[in-house]
Chains A and B, each alone.
Chain A
Amino acid sequence: MRLRHQFIAAIHALRANTVRSLLTILGIVIGITAIMLVMAVGRGAQDLILDQVRGFGAETIIIEPGREPKGPSDFVEVFTDSLKERDLAALADAARVPGVTDVVPLVAQVTTAAFGNETYRVQLRGAGPAILEVLRLTLASGVPLTEDDVRRRAAVAIIGDDVREQLFGQQDPIGQRIRMKNVSFRVVGVLERKGESGIVPVDHMVLVPYSTAQEYLLGITHVHAILVRAVSEQVVPRVKRDVEITLRELHRISDPEKDDFHVMTQVDIVQRIGIISTILTVLLTSIAAISLVVGGIGIMNIMLVAVAERTREIGLRKALGARRRDILGQFLFESVTLTAVGGIMGVAIGASLAFLAAVIFRATVSPNWAFTFPISAVVLGVGVSGVLGVVFGLAPARKAAAMSPMEALRNE
C-alpha cells in the first residue's frame, strides 16, 4: 500500500479515538517537552554564564580559600580563612611569581548604604587599587582608590551607578558621605554604568579599600579571594603553577591534595560551569527519558488494544489481499504517526515554555538572557518520538500481521 494512503489511513484510525489518542501520547508530549526545555534553557544559561566569565579577562586568575570543589560538600569549605596579608606580598614578589602585573585582594559582603534618609542594599567590595584595571571598569567621575588609601584604611568609597541614582538622585555624590554599618565613607568616584552583565554586579557595587572593609566593616584579617593579573594570557598556566608553589610553601603544604586554597583560570571556570550544566542536563534528560519510556509503553499498550479491537478489520484486509508487510506497515505507521504527533506537540510546547522562561529570566536574572532554540532540538524531538513509535509499535504490528485471515474474520 502506498505511503500516502498509509498516512491517511493512520490519521483516520487515530481520529476515530481522538481522546484516547491524545491521552496515550501525553507521556511522549511531556518527555519531549522536558527535553526541549533542557536544551533551550540549559543552553541559554550556559551562554549567559560563559559570556559573563569572558568579560572577566583571560589573563586574570582567581585564588579562593579552601580545596577545589569537587562535589557538593566541598562548597562548604569556601568559608575558610586561609588567605592572608602575607600571601599578597609573596604573590606580588616577582622573584617568586614572575609575569604578574597586579595582585588584588578581595573581600565581599552585602550590606546597606545610607545617605540622609535614603538607604540601598549594595554589594560591598573591599579591594586594592588595581581592581578597576583587573575588572576593566572605568570611572564616570572622581578618582580611583590609591595604595595610600589602603595603607591608611581610609574611609573612601567608589559607588556604582545604581547606588548613585538611588542615594543621590540628581545630586553630585563626589565629596558626599555615605554610611555603612555606622562608618562614614567619603565618595571619591562613580563607576561608569555597565548594565546587568558579568558576574560582577558593577552597578550595585560600593568599592572601598580592602583594609578598611576588613577592619571596620567585617572584623576579619583574611581575604575572600585574590585576583592575580598576568602580563598576558600566554603566561597564565605558568603563573598559576608559580602561585600554587608559592602558597604551598607559605602554608607549609607538601601534599597538593591537602591544599587550603585553589586557583582558577578562566579556562577552569568555563570547564566547571560546563560540568555543572552537563550534570544538570544529564539529570533532566534522564527524567525525560523515563517519561518517554513510560509513554512508549503506553503507546504499545494502546496499539495492542487497537489490534485486538480491529481483529475483524485485519481479517478483512487480509482476505482482500493485504500481505503481512501491508498490515505490519499499517499498524507501524499508526504508532509512528501517534508518537510523531506527540513529538511535534512536545517541541511546540517546549519552545513556548522556553520562550516564556526567557522572558521571565530576562526580567529577573539578566536582560542579556537570550532565547535560543536550536534546530537540533527540533530534529531530536521529532526524531526521538518517531523512533519510539517504531520501537514500541513493532510488537503490536507484528501481532496484527501474524493473524490468520480466517481466524480474524471469524472473531465476532
Chain B
Amino acid sequence: MSAAHNEPAHPGNAARLIELYYEQGWTDGLPVVPPSEESVGAMLAAAGLRGNDLIGEVFERHARLTADKVAVNAVLAGCRPAYMPVVVAAMRGLLHKDYHYHGAATSTGGSSVAVIVNGPIARELEINSGTNALGPGTRANATIGRAVRLTMMNALNTRAPKLDRSTLGNAGKYSLCFAENEAASPWEPLHVERGFKAGESTVTVFAAEGHIQIYNQLSADAETLCRTMADAMSQLGSMGIVGQPQTVVIFAGEHQEVFRKAGWSRARVRQCLYDHARRTIADAKRAGRLPGRLEPKDESTWRHAVARPEDILMVAAGGDAGAFSACLPGWGSGTLCRAVTTRIERP
C-alpha cells in the first residue's frame, strides 16, 4: 500500500477516502480511519520508532515489515497513538520464529491471533480484562487486535483467498485482544510465569481457533471444574488430538473463586487439566482422527490434548459474575507454532 494521504480532515474527504480504502482492498470489511502524515507520525513517535525501522520478516513470503507499515495500519484500525507500542510488540511476537507466521496465517485452519496484554500498560490503556473482555465495546481491545489483523492483511499480504486460506476463519480474526485481570487472579500473571517481571508490560500472541465457552454453574469443586474444562480441551474435532498444540484456558471470576477457595496452585490446576484432557486412541480411531485398525490396547492407551502440562497457558479474565470460562485451542501442532511473549518497549 502507498504512503499515507495528506488530505485535510474535512468530513467529505474522510468519507471519500474511506471508500477509496474499500476500493483498494485495504480494509477488513469495516470502515477504516484514513491516515495522514501527521497521524502516522504520531503513531511512530509514541513507539519511539522511525518509519524504516525493521519490525521483522517472513522468510517464506520474502516479506519485510517496517514500522511505518504498522503505524499506517494502527491508524486505519482506529488506535490511539498510545496503543502503538502494544501493536508493535504483538507484531514482533508474530514474526518470531517460534510462532511460524506463514503456516499459522496461511493455513486452512483459519487461526485468529489472540493478543493477551499483561503488566501496568494494560491498566494504563484501559484494556478490558473484566466483563465482556472478549466482546465488543472497548476501544483498546477492538483496535489493537484489529491493527494486528490489518497489518497482516495489508503489509504481509495475508488476504483470502490467496495467502490466507482459512476454510471458515473465525470472528476473532477481526480482533481478539484482552488483558489479564491480574488483580483478580488466584495466580501469578501469565507474563511472570513466562519469565518477565510483574512491573514489565508484555504482549503474548497465540494462534487460536475460535474460543470454546465452558459452563459449569453447579460445581464448587476444583477437581470437577477441571474435568469440565478438560472436556472442552479434548474434543475429537479439535486440531489438538493429532497435533497437540498449546491451549490457552481463560478463567473468569466465579471459576477463579472456586480455585482460590480450594487453595489450588497454578501447577496443580494445570496438572489436573492435563490429566483429564485426553482421549483414548480407540476414540480417535473410531472418529477417523487417527489411522489404522482398532487394537484392544487402544481402549486403554491415552493421547493428551497437549504434549505436557506446561503447554496449557492459564489466564484470568472476564467478569466476576457468571460461571463461564473458555479455552482457546491452538492452531497446528505444539512443535510447529508456539505462543510468544514480547516485552512492550516505550520511548
Q: Do A and B bind each other?
A: no
Which A residues form the contact surface with B (CB < 8 A)?
none
Which B residues form the contact surface with A (CB < 8 A)?
none
